[in-house]
Amino acid sequence: MTAKAHFGNPMIEQRNLARGKAVVRLDLGVIRVAGVDRLEWLHSMLTTDFKNLKPGQSREALLLNVQGHVEQVFHAFDDGEATTLIVPLDRVDALLKWLDRMMFRSKVTIEDVSAQWALFGSVAELEGVEASWVDPWPNLVLGGARYSTKVGADWSYREYLVPIAEADKFAAAHGEAGTDALEALRIAAWRPSLHEVDERTMPHEVDWMTTAVHLSKGCYRGQEAVAKTHNLGHPPRRLVFLHLDGSEHSLPNRGDEVWVMQPGGMRSERARGIITSVAQHYEQGPIGLALVQRGVPTEAELVIVSELGDIAASAEVIVPQDAGKAAGLARPNLLMGKRV
């Protein structure tokens, strides 16, 4: 059985999920990496610290391109014999090919074991069941950097690998909710995911530096761009949490444009951002996440331009305008020969 958006009543499912009375079946793939070099090998390619990964610990890691843009996110854990990577099911084949090309002389083996496992997610610890992967969000991991000065709604997410033959029994024992319920709770927790990623997303823009990047390690592709933006610059965009006007009983779509309202009720001359995630929350109503340009005023009134019409929105800051420039170095004025 594949993941379902809902089972007929998304709001009740969401409430049950939030209270630890349901789990969500996920369309995720599983890659097993074995061999004595596996941790050092993964450490050299991905953004987090794998060298010090101990059995039973969890990691979140990103694969970046040379410009520091996010290409993939991994949920990883190790059992002492192999490292398990949890990834979107539709990306398994491409990732296997990429990993195979990167093996060189490293003593590692990689295997797609997705067919052996069903994956479930919960936002509360299940009594008597040990989680396979525990989400570090919203806690700041060692070597990371948090830009946000506060956190969203409670979030204690974990994933469970269940033998495929036992999946239906596991679901029946814990109750099921659809993926819509999980998505609403994720958005309310300000938790970034691949939904926030386009071809130019940097970890800094969505506060992924909190859980998925170790700033004291090097080697991986995109590391120079990550360090430069964090220490000397500012991310060009920033993630915001949106409270959406629900009076029209409609939600915008992912990718809809975000505009700034000017005095007199006029829109800005051009779009200033895009919707990345949206949901109907069982307590907060219509909510969303959006990437907006860094310069958008934090108190600005926003409007989402949707095919269903304009939808007003107010924003809460997740990534502040002054994120980055952690080194506090003055910028050289090349005309005057001074630092400013």
Q: With contact defined as beta carbons under 8 Å apart, do 186 and 122 qualify?
A: no
Collect contacts of 269-274 with beta carbons under 8 A, ≥24 apart: 271/305, 272/296, 273/237, 273/240, 274/198
CB count in 10 Å sphere of residue 128: 6
We report the CATH number of the domain holding residue 284 as: 2.40.30.110
Calculate the CA dihedral of residues 90, 6, 84, 91 and round it to 10 degrees: 10
Residue at 324 is within a domain: no
Look up residue 147 and give its DSSP letter: -
Is there a single domain that holds both residue 61 and residue 116? yes
Is 338 part of a structural domain of the chain?
A: no
Residues 214 and 291 in one domain: no
Say which DSSP state 126 is in.
P
Residue 332 lies in a domain: no
Contact status, residue 141 vs residue 210, Cβ threshold 8 Å: yes
Residues 31 and 145 in one domain: yes
Task: Based on the fold, state whether residues 189 and 286 are members of the same structural domain.
Answer: no
Give the pLDDT score at 238: 99
Please indicate, yes or no, whether residues 208 and 245 belong to a single structural domain of this protein.
Answer: no
Residue 339: inside a domain, yes or no? Answer: no
Query: What domain range includes position 59?
Result: 10-228
Looking at the fold, whether 154 and 247 belong to one and the same domain comes out as no
Cis omega (within 30 of 0) for bond into 203: no
Whether 112 and 258 map to the same domain: the answer is no
Residue 327 lies in a domain: no
Q: What is the CATH number of the domain that holds 67?
A: 3.30.1360.120
pLDDT along the chain (340 residues), means of 10: 92 98 98 98 98 97 98 98 98 97 95 98 94 98 96 98 98 98 99 98 99 93 97 98 92 97 84 98 98 97 93 97 79 44
Shared-domain flag, residues 190 and 53:
yes
Q: What pLDDT score was predicted for residue 1?
A: 66
Letter string b/e over residues 285-307, b meaning 16 or more CB atoms within 10 A of that residue's CB: ebbbbbbbebebeeebebbbbbe
Report how far apart the first and last C-alpha atoms of the chain are (Å, whole number). Answer: 60
183 and 278 together in one domain = no
Number of domains in the chain: 2
Handedness of CA 261, 266, 271, 275 (dihedral sign): positive
The two tokens of residue 283 are: 């307590």
List, in order, residues 6 or more apart from 141 with CB less than 8 Å away: 48, 60, 210, 211, 214
Write down which residue in 196, 228, 260 finishes a domain. Answer: 228
* β-pair partners for 310: 305
| CA atoms within a 13 Å half-sphere pointing along the CA-CB vector of 304 | 32
From the number of C-beta atoms within 10 Å of its C-beta (0-12, 13-18, 19+), residue 231 rates as middle
Asked if residue 91 is part of any domain, the answer here is: yes
Q: What is the pTM of this model?
A: 0.94
Phi, psi of 316 (to 5 degrees): -110, 140
* The predicted structure's pLDDT at residue 269: 86
In a domain, 219, yes or no: yes
Q: Residue 26's closest CA among 130, 157, 192, 189?
A: 157
For residue 334, the model assigns a pLDDT of 44
- The answer on 293 and 149 residing in a single domain is no
Among 197, 228, 259, identify where a domain stops: 228
In a domain, 186, yes or no: yes
Say whether both 114 and 248 belong to one domain.
no
Same domain (yes/no): 184, 119:
yes
